[in-house]
Amino acid sequence: MNAAVRAVVRVGIYTGAKVYFVHEGYQGLVDGGDNIKEATWESVSMMLQLGGTVIGSARCQDFRTREGRLKAARNLVKRGITNLCVIGGDGSLTGADTFRAEWSSLLDELVKGGGITAEEAKKSSYLNIVGMVGSIDNDFCGTDMTIGTDSALHRIMEIVDAITTTAQSHQRTFVLEVMGRHCGYLALITALACGADWVFIPESPPEDDWEDHLCRRLTETRLGGSRLNIIIVAEGAIDKHGKAITADDIKTLVVKRLEYDTRVTILGHVQRGGTPSAFDRILTKDVTTAMNEGRFEDALKLRGRSFLNNWNVYKLLAHIRPPSTKSGYTLAVLNVGAPAAGMNAAVRSTVRIGLIHGHRMLAVHDGFEGLAEGKIEEISWERVGSWTGLGGSKLGTKRTLPKKYFEEISINISNFGIHGLVIIGGFEAFTGSLELMEGRAKFEELCIPLCVIPATVSNNVPGSDFSIGADTALNTITTTCDRIKQSAAGTKRRVFIIETMGGFCGYLATMAGLAGGADAVYIYEERFNIHDLQVNVEHLTEKMKTTVKRGLVLRNERCNENYTTDFIYNLYSEEGKGVFDCRKNVLGHMQQGGTPTPFDRNFGTKMGAKAVAWITGKIKECTRHGRIFANTKDSACLLGMRKRSLVFQPLTELKEQTDFEHRIPKEQWWLKLRPILKILAKYNIELDTTEKAHLEHVTRKGIALESNI
């Protein structure tokens, strides 16, 4: 919420508006006085990394009454406030809508009662309201993700990961209750991200004999070699008859029937706390009615396509077992390029969904090189069981391209009877797969369907807005920047220069700059010269005269071959003498490591599931007289996220969209966010705020002057 407050204040001031804080929510609006204070640029400094909300929030009974809303309206009119930005959940935004609908009648009543003058009422004749949804439940219509949800998932997964190690040591069953009275989003995503054995959500109650199913499922998992069981319960979980299913009920059942050592953990308000994640910085009534009426299929649909897809993928991975009859097809999965957090989740999903389809699944170690050298083995359901939360690449990964190994690769494809390839990796996975397509003309064995899943911290693979691993890297950078800035809290007048990874792609630097409140971000895509560096130094010099005496500068590792991190550090140190001192940090490979974020775990899981479903259909399509021959453009595709959808795109079509020299897509959606970064750092720039200026999927910076902002 604090990131949203900061952005509203700074962009408001940038547009020339007078911006006010309303402390303690609607209660502050009703009470007025010192609860409504003018905000300044400096007053929102060092706010990004704080959880909760620094301006306070309170449930307000007074605002529910007409009398309370009259007081609130008078307080706004007296200060000339006609625009209200409300950040909150269902109650907050419903209250805002009521307030807006009554505005004219409230003013009329205030004029009649002498609370305001007719002139004041005329000046405040309209009330504009913008609502931003701040709710950890992610239960609001009109938005795919609410502010706070991603951070709540981070808190939950930290606890689940910690519990998992304990449970494995002691062979325990853990029952975790997460928030969600009427919405099972947190429970569902947690279950997907940790590979839980069972999840209870209010939107889809279990069948009447769920107790038998649950015990059978836990027994199968233990017999398969697992040393732990995890069951996730949403606090509002119910059965088909509306009876509550609690964590304690489940514990009693497991202990009584299976005699497993079982523990209950109720996460409670720990989910609300903590530092906001990088994502957060940057239909409720209908669903409840459907659940109350027992229309659970409707409740799932009303949650939206994404929720329903998550639920279907979870059910596939958790409840369906490989069939006894086999498809006769063999799929191989491999990692290519540098390791990225979430790769293992994608491999796990690929293997398990493949087995569910009846395929024989092979794991290839060490990328294309391993495919050439025969480092290939059959992989089982149980083998990948605990891979979701592991960072790096369990299969091993190399940057080697396949062109020089065509003959060896073809022999191994034939020897192991491989009918399709799922290639998970970065830019090398993309270029290597293009090479395999070229090799089809000479080597018939390469004429099999293949699917590329983008996985790289650099987020530089064409055909996808996001790559697996980029979210984890971004959170690592953001957390590190927070700590570095915090270290300067007692040391005034200090500027930090931080180098990020990404090759020629400035995604990590730009998004970390937005999330960390950077004063300048240097990237390859936006060329800069010595004059720009001089402007940045002068800007920081002016900043040191204010109450905010800290600076943060991010530099993408390959933004400019001459203006290196050392050069920029030396320049800032020299030009800032007597005004500020400098420190530099090269973050290096710490950005590739670590435990995957909930987003990367779930993204990898869904991508793997989708890839196997597609490649299964493609194998059948390309089979003639018992033989597979795939040499069409659409038999080799990249699975990417485009806006809200996962789409398959032929690799050959993506060639035209790629700058191969610099290993980046020619068009990158996030470049349009760069002006916002500069506005929040208090630079005088122009920004197009017309309705035509969408903030996504715009090619290059084309900032138009908009005078009437």
Active site residues: 137
Measured CA to CA, the distance from residue 254 to residue 231 in angstroms comes to: 11
What tokens were used for 165? Answer: 């190690």
Give the angle 686-688-690 at the CA atoms, nearest 5°. Answer: 150
Minimal CA–CA distance to 354: which of 440, 429, 436, 451? 451
Contact at 8 Å (CB) between 382 and 227? no
Angle between the N-to-C axes of helices 598-621 and 305-319, in degrees from 0 to 180, rounded to the nearest 10: 80
End-to-end, the C-alpha distance of the chain in Å comes to 24
> Which residues, at least 6 apart from 538, have a Cβ–Cβ distance to it below 8 Å?
none
Measured CA to CA, the distance from residue 507 to residue 75 in angstroms comes to: 43
Q: What is the SS3 string spanning 357-397?
A: CCCEEEEECCHHHHHHHCCEEECCCHHHCCCCCCCCCCCCE
CA distances from 585 to 484, 573, 695 (A): 9, 14, 31
Contact at 8 Å (CB) between 230 and 167? yes
Contact at 8 Å (CB) between 637 and 429? no
Query: Which residues are registered as beta bridge partners of 556?
Result: 500
Query: Which residues are registered as beta bridge partners of 421?
Result: 332, 450
| Phi, psi torsion values for 494, nearest 5 degrees | -130, 135
Task: Give me the amino acid identity at 529.
Answer: N
Measured CA to CA, the distance from residue 71 to residue 63 in angstroms comes to: 9
Q: Which helix (H) or strand (E) holds 216?
A: helix 210-223
Q: Which helix (H) or strand (E) holds 554?
A: strand 550-556
Task: Give me the amino acid identity at 638.
Answer: L
- Collapsing DSSP to helix, strand or coil, 173 comes out as strand
Q: Tell the residue number behind the tokens 């199968």, with chain if given.
A: 220
CA distances from 589 to 338, 499, 502 (A): 10, 11, 11
Measured CA to CA, the distance from residue 167 to residue 161 in angstroms comes to: 10
